[in-house]
Structure 1
């Protein structure tokens, strides 16, 4: 019987559900020595914690630099606390101010306009790839449309897309995935190069505004936002488009192929995408700090303790999702998962993320109805504290 979380083990990301089910039943508030954190595993507790920022504080919760060596922290300097002023990493009133600013770019009209662009990007990609009959879904299909859409939204020139994608991958590994000391130093160098790039992009838009997110946020510097806040906002939205959304699409396609549910009939696409996010979420949870001494299910959580809100476990809570490990393409309450968070920190880009997933499934299902897994491959997930994603997925059609 596995007794603790183990981010370095393959089972932890690929199939932790028997372990999580035991926790929900026997130890719903679990002290993980491996994570150095208390873990909330039941749906009701995770949702309540998301909704109670006064007791479960976001202040500094994304700054996961605890695994960094002293040498790496010294190299990062002031940026060792990167994301310290990002919207998901602060409490009100700063959170209220930041979210109000970001929301100006995610209006329903703006998101709807991006749907047509994203659909076209997928069609263009398949025009090139479809005649070939095979691909690595992760590296050749899943990422490109989302990377390009995000770049255009932010204002990254097309010539810089590959640069941004590679450096975003490095900063994810540095802050959100355990790495040996020498690799940390390499990644820290890459991260500093990336921050310098975003900094220069912000400065360029301040001098010469365009019709993009960076220009909109830059126009608010001095009134609503600081320069650093804008840099961190841009950096983190680029992470979502370059990493989280494509990872969810890869997880989703693998699930649908394994369940013999491909292609998804158009009327079922929205529900199927929610069920795939529930059962194979790209986001596994969020960290918080206990803002006071807390007692939950008889377990004392001292003030200042780190707490993991396990949305992955919550999405498999049998009291909310009957037979939770079974894929049900039209599960009526699938969308009650918390992959995008909950409460005041509900992901500001959730509507865009959902739109991308639905649109990709529609286009791919129509263009590649015979999509299937290539035989003989070993499917493994990358190791991460908070994310689930595939480094590779070989497919044929």
Structure 2
């Protein structure tokens, strides 16, 4: 019997792929820690030590082109995208040194500890303002009405997106994720490709405007480096992808976290436990499921040869549930001592440049929500569903009341 038939495979069209992959991933860790997935067209590393080591070895596991995962796109869609089919080709998480060193150095100027701390007060105010409006309602869809707005607005103000354009950006970010990170039928691909090109054109115009009339925002800072440290395309891609994180990844993590805390009966979280609870929720219900890399040489691991040029998925989702690192990994421990050792933000030179800001947003949102809505609870009888995705975990909705 073949390994594929024995173990099964990832099925990105099935709900369990995002919602409940842990029995499958546990089998892979035990029986096939280096797994060739026909569905993903990639080798999958599932053990914590292997995932961490691959992150820390950019020479053998290259990031170059790793985010440009458009393999499922039809030729017609690729033709429509043209040169933009390789979008993210110069994004900081998608390149190797020396380009990575140069790009990360530029971006890091905007993510100093002082700058990140200054954003906390604004993010707190955005959450308070939202709850001033919603608290009297007594019920809401957490995903669509609570979880996204503060992060979307904070990211927009950080980048320099005008308030009247926030809805446009949020809608197009959702289309971006659908196009590149989840399977779509051919006609839908073309619709999403058109939306994606509109999104890039918008960011390109924003960069041009800030070049002509700089302001106190991230776009102006990055635009000022064009010619000296960065290219125009690099700035467009940097801004585009930071907008992706603020409009999608951070809100998804908040939704996953609130669902976990409500299910575990740990709402609201006392302030001394907020940091640990946030890390444990990222470990057990991470919004990011992993990252792709390319093997630059033949890599032999656990008796399996990964041929040079192969695509490799570093499964941070599996790593966060590795029983050799996190005892009783399916059990939620709000004070787990090593919860922050999860790899949701990556590791090594590609450790997420926005990690401090993401952590701050999660802790701040939980503090404000817990104080303002201590009676928050799930609406009974609802179906909990996740978006289909290759590398992300996000709820389609979450009905709550208080």
**TM-score class, shorter:** over 0.9
State yes or no: 1:301 paired with 2:301: no
4+ long deviations beyond 4 Å? none
In 2, Cα distance between the equivalents of 1:300 and 1:375? 49
In 2, Cα distance between the equivalents of 1:26 and 1:4? 13
1:65 to 66, 70, 80: 70
Q: What's the CA shift string for 1:94-115, capped at 9, x where partnerless? A: 0000000000000111000000
* Partner in structure 2 of residue 271 of structure 1: 276
Confirm or deny: 8 A CA contact 2:143 2:397 kept in the other structure.
yes
State yes or no: 1:371 paired with 2:376: yes
Cα offset, 1:277, TM superposition:
0.1
Q: What's the CA shift string for 1:170-225, capped at 9, x where partnerless? A: 01111111111000000000000010000000000000000000000000000000
* Partner in structure 2 of residue 178 of structure 1: 183
In 1, Cα distance between the equivalents of 2:364 and 2:18? 26
Confirm or deny: 8 A CA contact 2:182 2:390 kept in the other structure.
yes
* Partner in structure 1 of residue 225 of structure 2: 220
* Partner in structure 1 of residue 3 of structure 2: none
- Equivalent residues in 2 for 1:117-128, closer than 5 Å: 117-128=122-133
- Equivalent residues in 2 for 1:248-259, closer than 5 Å: 248-259=253-264
In 2, Cα distance between the equivalents of 1:176 and 1:345? 20
- Equivalent residues in 2 for 1:57-206, closer than 5 Å: 57-206=62-211
State yes or no: 1:345 paired with 2:373: no
Q: What's the CA shift string for 1:201-257, capped at 9, x where partnerless? A: 000000000000000000000000000000000000000000000000000000000
Q: What's the CA shift string for 1:102-159, capped at 9, x where partnerless? A: 0000011100000000000000000000000000000000000000000000000000
In 2, Cα distance between the equivalents of 1:64 and 1:334? 30
In 1, Cα distance between the equivalents of 2:199 and 2:16? 32
Cα offset, 1:2, TM superposition:
5.4
1:331 to 331, 336, 356: 336
1:291 to 289, 292, 296: 296
In 2, Cα distance between the equivalents of 1:334 and 1:375? 30
Q: CA RMSD of the aligned region, Å?
A: 0.6
* Partner in structure 2 of residue 54 of structure 1: 59
Cα offset, 1:376, TM superposition:
1.6
* Partner in structure 1 of residue 395 of structure 2: 390
Cα offset, 1:347, TM superposition:
0.3
Instruction: Single out whichever of 356-365 and 172-181 deviates more from structure 2.
Output: 172-181
Tell me the secondary structure at the aligned position of residue 295 of structure 1: strand
Tell me the secondary structure at the aligned position of residue 35 of structure 1: coil
* Partner in structure 2 of residue 232 of structure 1: 237
In 2, Cα distance between the equivalents of 1:168 and 1:381? 17
Confirm or deny: 8 A CA contact 2:7 2:28 kept in the other structure.
no
In structure 1, stretches of 5+ residues that fail to align are none
Q: What's the CA shift string for 1:262-299, capped at 9, x where partnerless? A: 00011000000000000000000000000101100000
TM-score (norm 2): 0.98
In 1, Cα distance between the equivalents of 2:58 and 2:270? 40
1:42 to 36, 47, 58: 47
Tell me the secondary structure at the aligned position of residue 135 of structure 1: strand
In 2, Cα distance between the equivalents of 1:294 and 1:342? 20
* Partner in structure 1 of residue 315 of structure 2: 310
Cα offset, 1:375, TM superposition:
1.3
1:242 to 239, 243, 247: 247
Tell me the secondary structure at the aligned position of residue 38 of structure 1: strand
In 1, Cα distance between the equivalents of 2:225 and 2:376? 46
Question: How many residue pairs are counted as aligned between the two chains?
Answer: 397
Tell me the secondary structure at the aligned position of residue 43 of structure 2: strand
